[in-house]
Amino acid sequence: MEQEIKELYNFLAKELVDMNSRWIISKQLYTSKDTVALLNQTAPSAFSLFFWSLYDSIILGISRLTDKPEGADKNHFTLLKLAQLMGNDRIKREIAACKADLRPIRERRNRQKGHNDRRAPTIPVAARKEIDTALSALTRVMHSFEKELGLSPMAYDIPILPGDGTVLLSILKKYSDTTERIRRGHMLGSTTYYNNHSTHLDEAVAEVHKVPVRAVAERHLLATDPVLQVLCQVYGLTQDEILTRQ
């Protein structure tokens, strides 16, 4: 029994950490109009799908934790299942009270259908409050379990997230700024570079490929640009492949 309790607690704790992680990244990416504009500028379809994938997984995950422990000949890993294994009536009552805070989320799970929006949406304020409330309520229940089990309370709302949403936004912002500077002809400073420093080699390459000399000069400058090097690593592309996609 003790091993079963331990395994179920560890599973539930990991689930709550994962949900908080998804929710933190969702808020980093989708609660600001500026960040959403950046996502729509770079890959709107991909980030729209990513949004709904995160959002749906959070709604479903919160609801699953407070489902009934048994149903359709299956044993569910839920909070109430753990309370039953521990024989703790106080936590059972706490879970029942917790479900009141989760009612809006569970109704969304039961009634809301998926969306197929091309552009990345922002998270509605009402939904943000509902999810924040639900995650806080689940955290209180898990802390009650931890107290009964003689464990230290886990900081579910501050998971370690190397490479989170802010890192992604930083890379996308650098990419956006770089492409904008290329468009305006201001890479590494002045447009006079392209007019005054074109070499005979640039002209020869331009003639062979039937492109403006300035385009050749841009490639020479970009080859040493640190942002371009980061983009090559992120997307797994060569410098030429990145440049031809500008």
Q: What is the pLDDT of residue 126?
A: 62
Let me know if residue 21 belongs to a domain.
yes
Same domain, 67 and 138: yes
Taking alpha carbons only, the member of 224, 134, 155, 232 closest to residue 188 is 224
- Domain encompassing residue 209: 165-244
Same domain, 229 and 115: no
Q: Where are the alpha helices (DSSP H) in the chain?
A: 2-30, 33-42, 44-65, 79-86, 89-101, 103-111, 125-148, 165-184, 192-196, 200-209, 213-222, 226-235, 239-244
Query: Which residues lie across from 70 on neighbouring strands?
Result: 75
For residue 230, pLDDT beyond 80: no
The CA-atom distances, in angstroms, between 198 and each of 53, 208, 211, 236 are: 49, 15, 13, 30
Range name among 39-48, 108-117, 124-133 with the lowest pLDDT average: 108-117
pLDDT in tens, 147-167: 999 999 999 999 889 889 999
Q: Give the number of other CB atoms < 10 A from CB of residue 118.
A: 9
Q: Global pTM? A: 0.69
pLDDT in tens, 26-37: 999 998 999 999
Tokens describing residue 24: 């933190």
Let me know if residue 176 belongs to a domain.
yes
Q: What residues contact residue 93 under an 8 Å CB cut-off, 6+ apart?
A: none
Number of domains in the chain: 2
Backbone angles phi, psi at 8, to 5 degrees: -70, -40
pLDDT in tens, 72-113: 556 789 999 999 999 999 999 999 999 888 888 888 777 764
Same domain, 122 and 175: no
Q: What residues contact residue 246 under an 8 Å CB cut-off, 6+ apart?
A: 179, 182, 183
Same domain, 225 and 129: no
| End position of a domain, from candidates 148, 174, 198 | 148
Give 104-167 as a DSSP string: HHHHHHHHPPP---SSPPPPPHHHHHHHHHHHHHHHHHHHHHHHHTT-PPP-TTS---TT-HHH
